[in-house]
């Protein structure tokens, strides 16, 4: 039997935004369907708008990407008539209406086929000025715009990406050209908007690769704006979240870069990217295994050096474990996000054994209410039941503690399945759990 120790009297920090995502809610479609209420209920802190142009519900091919908003590069970037803002306006408004802040990716969506938006801009300085006007539209009201105060502005996406045939679906230029684009854009935007956060560049992984090292070297030597370092990681085991954060820190330390925010802003379960491994990955992402993987990864992220974790993808698509593509109904992964929301609402992280072999856990408290969130995950498809024990202390309750057990499994969607009362300064909870079971236990004083 595994024993996991929890002490709610020891605060280890804040519950971080490990439940951020890529992409926001759908308002109401032309068929009258929507996931807006379900999305809003999750209290998602941030939504990165990368790949939004793939989804008609957000505005499709006219949405978010710089080259989709500013369609004619020869046009006057100072003229509001040169911009097509309306689809992105609607999408952004829906996201904020749901209580979620936008994390804006400046650049282009991935292009696996025909390449159009991933070529280097013909004039880096003009591209930077176009981005400036997009920011002014959403933060300063320019061109009949808004005052959202969007904090995060990310320059590009996966410039280091490579397909199996060696092609790059995200950047058609050289490494040197990308570094120069970042330098020109980041410097210009930071000069125009000192108070926003400029960063990127959403590498495929935080590794010591040629472009990663050359980019970070330029950041240090040229003193480039670098408020956050964003990168991606697709994996099979939740502990890879912490490994990614540590690898990023090691890369920064090579050049003596003062640590920016560390943001892993694309992640999901991937067994492999090709053929049967890819098809298996998609099936797992949409089901109970994917939900357990989400819960475990958020728990490990909370215990790691990361500042934010952004799931790919909340957009109803093949890689969404949150919403069904056709009906927009919640999938199993939705309820893992629902559980972590409860931790965020309590605010403070409590001391816990975050990982005990295949048990991933996290605890939170606001002083009078407490919650324990955990899952049993292994990268397999079958396993026998397992007994675990939680040793609980640090709840100051003279008249006892009421515990409510919410279960996410094959039959239950975060359903209340058990109530129990405990007494004493320290008590234990024994459970027999199945593979991929995810629990939220809420404690309150009697």
Q: What is the DSSP string of 384-396?
A: --EEEEEEEE---
Any idea what DSSP says for residue 173? S
Which pLDDT belongs to residue 129? Answer: 98
Full DSSP string of 111-133: -SSS-STTSPPS-HHHHHHHHHH
Side-chain half-sphere CA neighbours of 197 within 13 A: 20
The arithmetic mean of pLDDT across residues 236-246, rounded, is: 97
* Statement: residue 398 has pLDDT above 80: no
pLDDT band at 34 (very low <50, low <70, confident <90, very high): very high
* Statement: residue 173 has pLDDT above 80: yes
pLDDT band at 232 (very low <50, low <70, confident <90, very high): very high
Both structure tokens of 155: 């320059």
Which pLDDT belongs to residue 135? Answer: 99
Residue 422 pairs in a beta bridge with 401
The answer to whether 47 and 95 have CB atoms below 8 angstroms apart is yes
Q: pLDDT, tens digit, for every residue of 382-396?
A: 999 999 999 999 997
Better-scored residue on pLDDT, 122 or 166: 122
Which pLDDT belongs to residue 379? Answer: 97
Instruction: Quickly tell me which residue has 């990864």 as its tokens.
Output: 297
The answer to whether 206 and 251 have CB atoms below 8 angstroms apart is yes
Which pLDDT belongs to residue 360? Answer: 98
Structural domains in the chain, CATH included, are: 15-347 (3.20.20.80), 349-445 (2.60.40.1180)
Q: pLDDT, tens digit, for every residue of 363-389?
A: 999 999 999 999 999 999 999 999 999
Q: How many Å from the N-terminal Cα to the C-terminal Cα in the chain? A: 30
* Statement: residue 29 has pLDDT above 80: no
Average pLDDT, rounded, for the chain: 96
Characterize the bridge pairing of strands 438-445 and 401-408. antiparallel
The arithmetic mean of pLDDT across residues 55-79, rounded, is: 97
Instruction: Quickly tell me which residue has 């974790």 as its tokens.
Output: 309
Which pLDDT belongs to residue 209? Answer: 94
Q: pLDDT, tens digit, for every residue of 247-287?
A: 999 999 999 999 999 999 999 999 999 999 999 999 999 99
Q: Looking at 25-34, 307-316, 351-360, which range is the least confident one? A: 25-34
Interatomic CA distance for residues 344 and 349, integer angstroms: 9
* Statement: residue 31 has pLDDT above 80: no
Which pLDDT belongs to residue 30? Answer: 67
The arithmetic mean of pLDDT across residues 107-116, rounded, is: 95
Query: How many other CB atoms are there within 10 angstroms of residue 443's CB atom?
Result: 21
- The helix/strand/coil state of 181 is helix
Which pLDDT belongs to residue 33? Answer: 81
């Amino acid at each position: 039997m595994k024993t996991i120790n929890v002490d709610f009297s020891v605060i280890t920090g804040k519950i971080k935004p490990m439940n951020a995502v890529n992409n926001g809610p759908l308002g109401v479609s032309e068929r009258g369907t929507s996931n807006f209420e379900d999305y809003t209920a999750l209290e998602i802190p941030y939504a990165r708008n990368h790949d939004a142009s793939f989804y008609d519900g957000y505005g499709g091919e006219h949405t978010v990407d710089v080259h989709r908003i500013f369609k004619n590069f020869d046009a006057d970037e100072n003229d509001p008539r040169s911009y097509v803002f309306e689809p992105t306006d609607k999408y952004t408004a829906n996201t904020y209406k749901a209580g979620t802040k936008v994390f804006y990716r400046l650049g282009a969506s991935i292009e696996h086929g025909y390449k159009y938006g991933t070529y280097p801009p013909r004039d880096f300085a003009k591209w930077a000025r176009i981005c400036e006007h997009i920011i002014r539209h959403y933060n300063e009201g320019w061109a009949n715009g808004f005052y959202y105060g969007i904090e995060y502005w990310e320059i590009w996406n996966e410039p280091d990406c490579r397909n199996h045939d060696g092609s790059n679906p995200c950047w058609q230029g050289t490494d040197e050209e990308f570094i120069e684009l970042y330098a020109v854009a980041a410097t210009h935007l930071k000069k125009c908007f000192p108070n926003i956060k400029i960063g990127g560049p959403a590498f495929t992984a935080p590794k010591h690769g040629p472009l990663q090292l050359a980019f970070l070297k330029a950041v240090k030597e040229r003193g480039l704006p670098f408020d956050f370092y964003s990168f991606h990681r697709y994996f099979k085991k939740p502990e890879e979240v912490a490994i990614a954060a540590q690898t990023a820190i090691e890369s920064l330390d090579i050049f003596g870069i003062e640590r920016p925010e560390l943001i892993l802003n694309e992640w999901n379960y991937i067994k492999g990217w090709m053929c049967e491994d890819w098809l298996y990955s998609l099936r797992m992402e949409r089901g109970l295994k994917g939900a357990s993987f989400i819960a475990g990864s958020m728990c490990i992220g909370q215990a790691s050096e990361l500042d934010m974790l952004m799931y790919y993808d909340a957009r109803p698509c093949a890689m969404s474990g949150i919403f069904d593509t056709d009906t927009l109904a919640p999938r199993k992964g939705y309820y893992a996000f629902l559980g972590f929301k409860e931790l965020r609402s309590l605010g403070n992280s409590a001391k816990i054994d975050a990982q005990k072999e295949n048990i991933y856990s996290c605890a939170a408290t606001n002083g009078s209410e407490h919650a324990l969130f955990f899952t049993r995950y292994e990268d397999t498809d079958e396993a026998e039941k397992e007994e675990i024990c939680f040793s609980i202390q640090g709840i100051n309750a003279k008249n006892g503690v009421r515990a409510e057990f919410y279960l996410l499994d094959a039959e239950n969607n975060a359903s209340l399945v058990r109530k129990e009362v405990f007494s004493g300064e320290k008590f234990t909870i024994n459970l027999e759990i199945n593979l991929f079971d995810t629990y939220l236990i809420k404690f309150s004083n009697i």
